[in-house]
A and B are shown apart, each in its own frame.
Chain A
Amino acid sequence: MTLLKVESLDARHGLLQAVREVSFTVSEGETVALVGANGAGKTTLLRALAGAHRPSGGDVIFDEVAITNIPAYRRVRMGIVLVPEGRRLFPSLTVEENLLLATASGRSGVWNIETVLDAFPILRSLRRRPARNLSGGEQQAAAIGRGLMSNPRLLLLDEVSLGLAPVAIEAVYASVRTLIQNGTTILLVEQDLSRAMRVATRILCLLEGRVVLEGTPADLTRERIAAAYFGLGRTSGQETA
């Protein structure tokens, strides 16, 4: 079943058009990786899907409801949750307060403060600590945990491994794999191509705001993705664009 449908979505930052007529769908239970160079429009696309960036054109349809003009907080209540780039925890609030805030979505499900702390055991001893005092990996765990507290149907993960030590990245991706096994639909942005190919069921490659390549990791070779990533040999990219 199609959970998310994006139709010729445009998004701008002033005069700069960051996302150009992007169309794709995500089915329930899929893990889709968005790859692309810096400035390809990945973060803007995720923010537009979450409602944090107002698109200048096109439509976003979630579970057969047009949500293009619905504000971010109501999208969270529908089950679209973004774990933003740079974690964006509330620095002066404790880890527990950060997690509890996400119950504002009013969504119930398997995730609550106890199950989140079970999934991220490192957070258990830190729950009374202000978020600003956490390491990068701990903050990322808290940010993903906060996203889970809303019991998402569609989880948008924006560069969850950025700036983390390799050990912390492994821990974060171990938790992402648990989510995938539990059937959570995930759309993630990942700079590390081999990691994206390991975790995703489908890969979308963005170049200058457009989807230039799309396919399953089995269908695509690293070379084709890399070519699309850097805009080399665009003819090969246009067959799916």
Chain B
Amino acid sequence: MVWANAIVQGVLLGGYYALLACGLSLMFGVMRIINLAHGDIAVIGAYLILVALQHTSMSPFTAALIVLPAMLILGYVLQQVLLERSREAGQLTPLLTTFGLAVVIQNAVLQIFSPDVQSFGGSAGDITTASWQINSEVSVPAIGALIFAVAVLVLGGLQLFLSRTRLGLEMRATAEDSDTAELVGINSRAVYARATALAVATAGLAGLFLGIRTTFEPTSGSTLLIFAFEAVVIGGFGSLWGTLLGGIALGVAQTIGEQINPEYSILAGHLVFLAVLASPRGSLLVSRGVQG
């Protein structure tokens, strides 16, 4: 039963990783850009919510309703002023640009907010401590279930957006062949900016749950990026449902590893990631990345 509990906790943790990773997956799928600042953008979301909480008495969830639209705008501007130019400069340039952006964000946040460890779990209310006791060994924490439900809604919503809406259709077309998309009248820069806006907003949402379920500091982004990246690779680059499954696989690996020995938690996740990379599918990923 302890294993059943580990798997339940792992699946729920996987929802959080999927939420963290879906923006990374979307940006790669649409623009072939691996955004190395994705984790730090989630941290920005957490700090923005923290600022709102310091000045008002609202709950983090209400604060997120204000912060998320701001993140949408931030993403749109980020693409238009920074990523678009580096995208035009070649395949490697966006990678370097986002790496530099990650360093800039970490240091700016450090400068503004000090290196103190922060959290707003305390102001999120009873949901952080509530849980459903299934039996003596297995319990489902309410916040974990909420995060998982939000992740499924966000990924499902993105999938519906891509498959059913006009903007989604333009996004899929631009992802396949941006040159031809322009020739049928689609402004590919605007499409990319919308995709980045969505990706940054989902990172902000992950930042909300980061601050509720655990603590964060200016340098937290790097670890978040690694987990998001692992979830995306395990699930298959550019596939949103794959990202959910990848997140779950990573989460379950970590909780099972932790059950064996708390030291093995992160390591077990890395091992699953490496196993996928070493598998035939991993070499497919590499070749696709080179061509893409």
Contact indicator A84/B186 (Cβ below 8 Å): no
Separation of A74 and B186 alpha carbons in the complex (Å): 8
Contact indicator A52/B184 (Cβ below 8 Å): no
Contact indicator A90/B182 (Cβ below 8 Å): no
Q: Which residue of B lies closest to A83 (CB)?
A: B183
Is B180 on the interface with A (CB-CB < 8 A)? yes
Residues of A within 8 A of B (CB): 50-52, 71-74, 76-77, 81-82, 84, 88, 90-93, 97, 100-102, 104-106, 146, 150
Name 18 extra pairs, CB < 8 A, besides A102-B184, A150-B185.
A52-B179, A52-B182, A72-B183, A73-B181, A73-B182, A76-B182, A90-B172, A90-B177, A90-B180, A92-B172, A92-B176, A101-B184, A101-B186, A104-B170, A104-B186, A106-B185, A146-B184, A150-B184
Least distance between A158 CB and chain B CB atoms (Å)? 11
Least distance between B170 CB and chain A CB atoms (Å)? 7
Complex interface: chain B residues within 8 A of A91 (CB): 176
Least distance between A124 CB and chain B CB atoms (Å)? 20
Scoring B residues 164 to 198 as 1 if CB is less than 8 Å from chain A, else 0, what string do you get? 00000110110011011111111110000000000
Complex interface: chain A residues within 8 A of B172 (CB): 90, 92-93
Could you list 29 examples of A-B contacts with CB < 8 Å? A50-B183, A51-B182, A52-B179, A52-B182, A52-B183, A71-B182, A71-B187, A72-B183, A73-B185, A73-B186, A76-B185, A77-B185, A84-B180, A88-B179, A90-B176, A90-B180, A90-B181, A93-B169, A93-B172, A93-B173, A97-B169, A97-B173, A100-B169, A101-B173, A101-B184, A101-B186, A102-B184, A104-B170, A150-B185
Contact indicator B173/A90 (Cβ below 8 Å): yes
Scoring B residues 57 to 75 as 1 if CB is less than 8 Å from chain A, else 0, what string do you get? 0000000000000000000
Least distance between B191 CB and chain A CB atoms (Å)? 10
List the 5 closest pairs (A to B, CB-CB), nearest first: A105-B185, A76-B185, A104-B185, A72-B182, A88-B180
Q: Which residue of B lies closest to A146 (CB)?
A: B184
Complex interface: chain A residues within 8 A of B188 (CB): 73
> How many residue-residue contacts, CB under 8 A, span A and B?
65
Separation of A84 and B170 alpha carbons in the complex (Å): 19
Complex interface: chain A residues within 8 A of B173 (CB): 90, 93, 97, 101
Least distance between A86 CB and chain B CB atoms (Å)? 10
Contact indicator B169/A76 (Cβ below 8 Å): no
The residues in B between 189 and 237 inclusive whose CB is less than 8 angstroms from any CB of A are: none
Complex interface: chain B residues within 8 A of A146 (CB): 184
Contact indicator A88/B177 (Cβ below 8 Å): yes
Least distance between A84 CB and chain B CB atoms (Å)? 6
Separation of A150 and B170 alpha carbons in the complex (Å): 15
Of A82, A90, A92, chain B has the most CB atoms within 10 Å of the CB of A90
Of A52, A71, A77, A88, chain B has the most CB atoms within 10 Å of the CB of A88
Q: Which residue of B lies closest to A71 (CB)?
A: B182
Least distance between A188 CB and chain B CB atoms (Å)? 16
Separation of A93 and B186 alpha carbons in the complex (Å): 15
Q: Which residue of B lies closest to A150 (CB)?
A: B185
Separation of A152 and B22 alpha carbons in the complex (Å): 39
Complex interface: chain B residues within 8 A of A81 (CB): 183
